[in-house]
Amino acid sequence: MTQWKQGDRIECDLAFEATVVPDAPDGLIKGIASTAATDLYGHKVLPGAFDDSIRRKGLNAKKGVKLLLSHDWHKPAGVIKRLETVNDKLEIEAQLSLKSGYVRDLYEVAKDIGGLNFSVGFSLEEFEFVDEDQEKDASSDDAWLIIKKGDLMEVSVVCFPACVDAEMTYIKRSPPNSLAEFEKALVAEGLARSREQARKLTQAVKNSVHLFQGRPPQEAPTIVQPHLWLDAHKLKAATDLAVRAKALLGSR
């Protein structure tokens, strides 16, 4: 078992599932940066453990909590817009800096594969070990290290998760500009298992595109005015006149 001491830096990865947010700016990501669930390493971060350091440091100051790529302190990835504990989860909203080449590459990969993961980097401040022989209470679960308070330094975008109960909920994607991009989006969203299946779905949509188009507004029916001689009253009068004329000619 690894021995930890106060001030040691801990990293906890968090999984996420991406969805589309059409009205958001490109590069916007949202999700969960920490949960109270015990991660795959046996670490359990209690709700609100980072609240004091977030308030003290802020998000935009030089020494504020940073958004990084893979815990690399030489690779900032953007700006954290919101980092707030809601119930037992630390929610995050961040804007990726797409002018940076490595961040732009990360963003494109994240969109193609349907998302990446989050991880928090912090220093231990208040914590508790749970021995194997110690009777565990409901708050410890299977954890052997319970973090009660930590100095949060950064939240990273990483590949593999440790805290499987957390997820990223939003990643902004631009609408597809070609059929190839549309097919990739179908696979990324889990609507198709392969590009071949995505092609079949795309062809089916193309063949039924009229079903997705709005119907033109219904035109008011044209009212046809009856012909003068088709007016019922005038037609009867004309018939009577013809009968009288025929009778008059027949009498001569």
- pLDDT value of position 17: 43
Residue predicted with more confidence, 187 or 55? 55
3-class DSSP state of 140: coil
Threshold 0.85, pTM exceeds: no
Helices (H) and strands (E) in the chain, counts: 5, 9
Q: How far apart are CA 168 and CA 106, in angstroms?
A: 15
Most confident residue range from 53-62, 103-112, 231-240, 243-252: 53-62
Q: How far apart are CA 19 and CA 195, in angstroms?
A: 19
Beta bridge mates, 138: none
For tokens 């902004």, the residue is 172
Mean pLDDT of the chain: 79
CB 70 within 8 A of CB 171: no
- pLDDT value of position 182: 77
- pLDDT value of position 24: 67
Q: How far apart are CA 4 and CA 154, in angstroms?
A: 19
Mean pLDDT on 146-160: 93
CB 67 within 8 A of CB 79: yes
Q: How far apart are CA 239 and CA 226, in angstroms?
A: 18
Q: How far apart are CA 136 and CA 130, in angstroms?
A: 7
Residue predicted with more confidence, 34 or 184? 34
Tokens representing 102 are 């490595």
Structure confidence by residue, pLDDT tens digits, 37-55: 999 999 999 999 999 999 9
Task: Count Cβ neighbours within 10 Å for each residue of 23-38 and write b for 16 or more, e otherwise.
Answer: ebeebbbbbbbbbbbb
CB 174 within 8 A of CB 28: no
Contacts 24+ apart (CB under 8 A), 128-137: 129/4
For the chain, percent of residues with pLDDT exceeding 90: 39
